[in-house]
Amino acid sequence: MRLGKVTFELHKVSITKPLNFNIMKMSNLLLLLAVLCLFAACKRGGGSYESELSKQLADSATSVSSDSTGAKLVRTAQVDMKVKDAAKVSEDIVQLTTASYHGMVMNHHLQSEELRSEDMKLSSDSLQRVTVYHTTATMTVRVPPAALNQFMSDVSKLGLHVNIRRMDIEDKTFDYLTSQLYQNNRKELVEQQKEGKVKFKDPTAVLRISDDLANEKVNNIRVDHAVQYSVVDLTLSQNNTVSIEHIANDDTAVYQIPFLQRMAFALSNGWSMFADCVIALANLWVFLVLGVILWFTVKYYKIKWVSPIKSV
């Protein structure tokens, strides 16, 4: 590793109202500046990027935290490939991830989309349905970063051909270190407030600082989790599949009985209706008798009383 020339100029600094908080904040900023200068001056030698960066941070940032001395490299990958059977390959990838690489399947989605379908008549009561559909599968898995390249190679061997294979590495080292410095500053400020060295006019200021401290801790935990397990997005597709099945005809019109049977049923039904009418009239015999009596009464009245009046 070759080091470039770094020059520091000293200036006279006057502090009218020194505070321990300002001094500690200035020291942290100077530490961060020294780390940045050292990283810019170093050139890559025979070692790997991660080991060289870890060595530099171990020498310059020991006073911050032992957790921030390692390089925080977040690895992500993507594989898009064509397979023979998306469902079977998906199960193979699940087995490969959990059993062989001790990883975790975060998402697994298998979908078949119907492109077109046609029904062909085989007989009066049966059809042959031909359906063309396209099947795809998407997966999101997490594997240890040390085995990421080998995992991608093993997954690629399960497909017919690979459309996309990509791996990205994002360096979160200095974001992590900056967050650690912010945490230290806020922690020291809260401690000084508890000791009475620093007072806030706004009581909610301490709560906001505590919330910011918690957020920085959570962000660092999230970075640590992303460093420990790499995220791989997988997309599987296969050729269109043709499905042929024999199904029952759901048109009720084809299940009508023959003409002669329907004619015989109509005659029988007509006789039943006539018999029902006769029975209904029989139930009304009282009204029939009353009607006959009323008819004779009216006729007798016309003969007995109306005819003599007309003759007069």
Among 1-5, 28-32, 38-42, 208-212, where is mean pLDDT lowest? Answer: 1-5
Identify which of 145-154, 168-177, 217-226 has the greatest average pLDDT: 145-154
Helices (H) and strands (E) in the chain, counts: 9, 6
Query: Where does residue 298 fall: left (phi above 0), alpha (psi -120 to 50 degrees), or beta otherwise?
Result: alpha
Residue 308 pLDDT: 61
Which residues 6+ apart lie within 8 Å of 172 measured at CB? 72, 73, 74, 223, 226, 227
132 has which bridge partners?
Answer: 116, 242
Residue 71 pLDDT: 84
Question: For residue range 184-196, what is the model confidence (pLDDT) as tens digits?
Answer: 877 777 777 777 7
> How many Å apart are CA 57 and CA 220, to the nearest integer?
17
Question: For residue range 283-292, what is the model confidence (pLDDT) as tens digits?
Answer: 878 887 888 8
CA-nearest of 50, 52, 6, 57 to 31 is 57
Which residues 6+ apart lie within 8 Å of 289 measured at CB? none
Identify which of 3-12, 71-80, 269-278 has the greatest average pLDDT: 71-80
Banded model confidence at residue 311, pLDDT cuts 50, 70, 90: low
Domain boundaries, the chain: 69-256, 257-311
In the chain, % of residues over pLDDT 70: 75
Q: Is the pLDDT at 253 greater than 50, yes or no?
A: yes
The 8-class DSSP code of residue 42 comes to B
Q: Do residues 53 and 149 make contact, with C-beta atoms less than 8 angstroms apart?
A: no
Residue 193 pLDDT: 73
Among 1-5, 37-41, 89-93, 141-145, where is mean pLDDT lowest? Answer: 1-5
Q: Which residue has the tokens 């004779």?
A: 296
Q: Is the pLDDT at 39 greater than 60, yes or no?
A: no
pTM: 0.57
Q: Is the pLDDT at 1 greater than 50, yes or no?
A: no
- β-pairing verdict for 73-82 and 230-237: parallel
Residue 166 pLDDT: 94
